[in-house]
Amino acid sequence: MALVAYRNLLRAARIAFEGDANVLSAAKESIRNGFRDKRSLSASDPEVQASLQHAQDVAQFLRSNVVQGRKDGDVYRLRIHKDTERGDNDTIKLGNKTIKVDGQKCCSS
């Protein structure tokens, strides 16, 4: 299970930071260090499951929410890929109104 989460996180970093060798290298090092720090935990430790879930959540966030931008003259070009989440900005149109999620008050601006 840990190996799957580790590989998934590395793949997500490669997708999110493609073409930026410095950031990709730093991300890989951070991922390695994070897993290395948790290596001594026993398989039955409850922290293991929480850590693996965190790794999966970070991988999903990197895939869907991180977009690279490059300056091309006076214009920034975004590298949006197939996994990038595309919203419809409906919540922005609400202004200062309270937002409800699944019928419950969530947040207000």
> Has this prediction a pTM greater than 0.75?
no
Rounded Cα–Cα distance for residues 25 and 23 (Å): 5
What H or E segment, with its residue span, contains residue 27? helix 21-37
Q: What is the pLDDT of residue 105?
A: 63
Rounded Cα–Cα distance for residues 12 and 95 (Å): 33
pLDDT bracket for residue 109 (50, 70, 90): very low
Rounded Cα–Cα distance for residues 48 and 42 (Å): 8
Q: What is the pLDDT of residues 65-97, one digit of tens each?
A: 888 888 899 999 988 888 888 777 676 666 666
Sign of CA dihedral 27, 29, 33, 36: positive
Q: What is the pLDDT of residues 35-70, one digit of tens each?
A: 999 898 888 888 999 999 999 999 999 999 888 888
